[in-house]
Amino acid sequence: MTNEEQMFDPKQKPLNSGFGAATTAREAAQGIDLSGKTAIVTGGYSGLGLETVRVLSEAGATVVVPARDPVRGRASVEGIANVQVDELDLMNPASIEAFTGRFLASGKALHILVNSAGIMATPLMRDSRGFEAQFSTNHLGHFHLTQRLWPALTAARGARVVSVSSGGHQIAPVDFGDINFERRPYDKWIAYGQSKTANVLFAVALDKRGKAQNVRAFALHPGTVLGPLARHLTEDEIKAFDVYDDQGKVVIDPQRDLKNFEQGAATAVWCATSPLLAGLGGVYCENCDVAAVTPNDGSSRFGVNEWAIDKDAAEKLWAISEEMINHPAQGSGLKSADRS
């Protein structure tokens, strides 16, 4: 075994799925029957999450959409069959406990959990515990949510947890010495990159713990999609991504990673449903395929950086994340000591 293989999973390489950058979510789900299955999609009332909800519903799933504002959430999903909206604030531990408590009380098995909600490049904000907001929302809230939903995931006897990361993970690794920017100057892009790296490391560590119970985890880059995630950016910052043509219209060019919502949601749907991924997990995907590994030197905007799939870093993040949510184990079955 090479040093490279020891650091990350050798299965982190393309499968030649037959799909590509222009594949839409509906195309990725073609022929998939989710009748009788339940999914939860955070962020499912706008942007990529809404398209993910629409396609999972069309495939037959019952989809639960958590929302900070349930009234807005219900208005967004109106007309989509088999969708239920419930209240959840990922930066509020009590809200996570309440939401998961209600779901577990329903007795439903959870077959698909898509952790799609997120914020990007925000001014410095902190949650009630003092944790930096992008890390708290994008990673820690989903970590807490997934732990509490573990009984429902294992009850499915075949579940997938899909974390919507980003190519933005290439911006920065997790700074384990100062995750919350208590000593280093706050940089909104470094904070975003760290949170997206955390999404990938979470999938690595979660899959290690879940595979014995047939709960598999994936992380992904959806593509560059101009949507609600950009709400904290100035117009000049958005223009820097080359998303507008000479007439000021949004460019859709999947080969340049510039996608619409239908294309951007495709990889999340593929990770959640594709039979090609049976027996796999803990990998990072893009363009409806497992991504190649790229060096940490920024030489390629595609693929997954080595720092985001490092097994030791994944374990370190898991342990720190448990400490940050005060590790009230409560039968999650996913303790740090679990090395299955």
Please list the active-site residues.
Answer: 192
CB 120 within 8 A of CB 171: no
CA distance 249 to 59: 33
CB 46 within 8 A of CB 225: no
Q: Phi and psi at residue 85, in whole multiples of 5°?
A: -110, 135
Q: How many CA atoms lie less than 13 Å away from 154 in the CB half-sphere?
A: 15
Residue 237 DSSP SS3: helix
Query: What is the number of H-type helices and E-type strands within the chain?
Result: 13, 10
**Alpha carbon separation from 146 to 13, 128, 299 (Å, rounded):** 26, 20, 34
What letters, b where the CB count within 10 A reaches 16 and e where it falls short, cover 107-134? ebbbbbbbbbbbbbbbeeeebeeebbbb
CA distance 340 to 326: 22
DSSP state letters, 284-326? EEETTEEPPEE-TTSS-SSSEEGGGS-HHHHHHHHHHHHHHTT
> Which residues, at least 6 apart from 122, have a Cβ–Cβ distance to it below 8 Å?
133, 134, 188, 191, 232
At what angle are helices 70-77 and 47-58 packed, to 10 degrees? 50
